[in-house]
Structure formats: C-alpha cells, structure tokens
Amino acid sequence: MKTYLVFLVAMITAAFTVQTASAQLVPVPKQDPLFPDEGKTTLTVWTGVPYISIAEYAYGVSDGFAVGVVGGFTPTSKAIGVRLRGIVAQPSDDFRLYVKSPILFYPASGDSHREPWFLVWP
C-alpha cells in the first residue's frame, strides 16, 4: 500500500511540475561549396601536388554561376588566376552537370627557364 501511495504522489507531483513545449522545424538551406548563392562568397584553402598551398575566394554571380580568384605556390614558383564555374543541368539534388575553367598565370621562374606561362583548362 505504501508503494502505491508513493507512486500516486510522484504522478501527481509530475503532473503539476512538467512543462510542455512545442517547436517548429525550419528547413535549413544546404550550403554548396562550389556554387555560393547569389551575392555570397566562399573561401577554400587546400594543398596537394604540385602546390604547397592554394586558395580560392569565390563569388556567386547567380545561383548557378560562380567566379573565383585563385592563388597558390609550389616550392619553386607561384600562380594566380581565375576559376569560372557554371551549372549546365541539375535534374535532381543528387546529380549535377557543370563546366569549369581555371585559368592560371605562372610568372617567370627558374623552372620555367625565366619564361612566364599560362595554364588554361577549359
């Protein structure tokens, strides 16, 4: 009997002290590192052969087109350029067809026989 009384007191206490709350789920837009939203920017930094470090500051011209300024350096030379990207087709969130065109300028260095050169990858 004492157990039932303790249980009843606990239930009554819980009923008067428990507060309820409700929340509304708000969808958060998915961030896209390749194509920032119109008027937004992204900064990307990475490393890999042949670069010791390379970075890009990209600006979203529209929701499907971005222009980036790229700069990096290797052990023997430096590079600066632009990187253009545009979405051709995106039938679903899981599939996208886009074009890109990095254009890099390498100033004269010892490895290039003191000749500046461009790298264009359409």
> Which pLDDT score is estimated for 97?
95
**Which SS3 state, helix, strand or coil, does residue 14 take?**
helix
d(CA 117, CA 108): 7
Amino acid 121 reads W
- Within 8 A by CB and 6+ apart from 50, the residues are 74
Gap between the Cα atoms of 66 and 70, Å rounded: 13
pLDDT for 21 equals: 64
User: Given this model, what pLDDT does residue 14 score?
Assistant: 67
pLDDT of the residue at 10: 74
Q: Judge contact between 37 and 61, C-beta under 8 A.
A: no
Q: Which positions of the chain have pLDDT values less than 70?
A: 1, 14-16, 18-22
User: Do the beta carbons of residue 73 and residue 51 sit within 8 Å?
Assistant: yes
